[in-house]
Copies of this chain bind each other. A is one copy, B any other.
């Protein structure tokens, strides 16, 4: 009996440990049946899962899409969407992946049957969340509307997987989907970034990844703005040419200074600050483009006149569309930037609440907190 063959067989248990969400802020570790992969799906043994700001939002408030079905509270729902793992079982017709493959995930499978999915805009699926309460649209967005990664196993559609190379750690691989979101944002801005100027506002995980991916694609200068020097320094390590602490210098003036008055071609807004869009409109030149990957919780005053007069386009992005995750994964596999710099803490599956505490309170300047499951 060969070792190789042996390596490819995994004993899959009937039940697994999984965190479920009873009510706002009420995560509970429990036992669940291990799910069964259907056609075009695989079962993944989750090896690691990272905590994202959206997880906090879901845990505290649910998500708008849930309102309809009364979810996710008290519905046995398992959150967690930034995970990676090992393929341990194949659904019908699957030969795209084989047992033993290490994979990272995209969140949005879409439904495959609405107009947006049909056209490739699967993160804008019109049946988003419509697979409950009598609806049966087949939509999946693991960790958002279908069970996610704070568990031992999860089912994923083959469309939502990317191969993880041998020389990439589990922890780093959890960051692939974050890089995919950044890549998607740069896609909608036009994608041809070499030698084009880019401001990234907000050095959270998506902002830092936008810096890294933007620089990997040749953007220049890449200017990062934020409030914390430690994060800005990390941004420099990931490829930013300039870092601006907005507590020390007006960011619009800084951008004008750095670009000799010209402004930039593109802004990736990743801060969610109330005035960020207005500032972005002052940072770009005529015909410039702004991607919003973050947003303030409340309506904020926006100078729409500027948007119209300067022919500015503003792109809201949900998730990581356009197969961007695949492309971002390739840049990471090629070691174009060191995503591991963003990984600060590791906890076990039992320690999920502790992990959330570190993430939310930014204890020890936590950025990416990873739960190592297997």
Contact = CB atoms under 8 A, between A and B. Distances in A.
Interface stretch (A72-80, A118-126, A250-258): A118-126
Contact of A297 (B118, B187, B305, B330): B305
A292 B303 CA distance: 12
Contacts of A292: 304, 307-308
A293 B308 CA distance: 7
A159 B118 contact: yes
Contacts of A27: none
A310 interface: yes
A109 B223 CA distance: 31
A252 to B, nearest CB: 15
A301 B304 contact: no
A316 B313 CA distance: 6
Contact of A287 (B39, B116, B218, B297): B116
A101 interface: no
Interface stretch (A43-51, A190-198, A346-354): A190-198
Which of A188, A286, A299, A317 has the most chain B CB atoms inside 10 A of its CB?
A: A286
B218 A286 contact: no
Given A302-B300, A305-B295, A311 B123 contact: yes
Given A194-B330, A318-B308, A327-B218, A39 B138 contact: yes
Given A295-B304, A307-B314, A308-B292, A331 B287 contact: no
Interface string A315-334: 11111011100111111011
Given A295-B304, A318-B311, A323 B113 contact: no
Contact of A316 (B217, B308, B322): B308
Contacts of A217: 194, 217-218
A217 B158 CA distance: 26
Nearest to A186: B192
B120 A119 contact: yes
Interface in A79-130: 92-93, 96, 112-113, 115-116, 118-126, 128
Contacts of A120: 118-121
Contacts of A321: 311
A286 B128 contact: yes
B313 A124 contact: no
A316 B158 CA distance: 29
A64 interface: yes
A330 B195 contact: yes
Contacts of A287: 116, 121, 124, 126
Given A295-B308, A311-B124, A331 B218 contact: yes
A157 B124 contact: no
Nearest to A92: B136
A313 B315 contact: yes
Given A136-B93, A316-B311, A124 B286 contact: yes
Contacts of A135: 93
Contacts of A220: 330, 333-334
A192 to B, nearest CB: 5
Given A216-B218, A311-B316, 6 more contacts: A39-B138, A119-B120, A119-B322, A191-B191, A311-B318, A313-B315
12 contacts: A93-B135, A115-B323, A118-B120, A120-B121, A121-B287, A195-B327, A220-B334, A277-B302, A295-B309, A302-B302, A309-B316, A311-B317
Instruction: Rank and list the top 9 A-B pairs by shortest CB-CB distance, nearest first.
Output: A195-B330, A120-B120, A124-B287, A93-B136, A307-B316, A299-B301, A194-B327, A308-B316, A124-B286
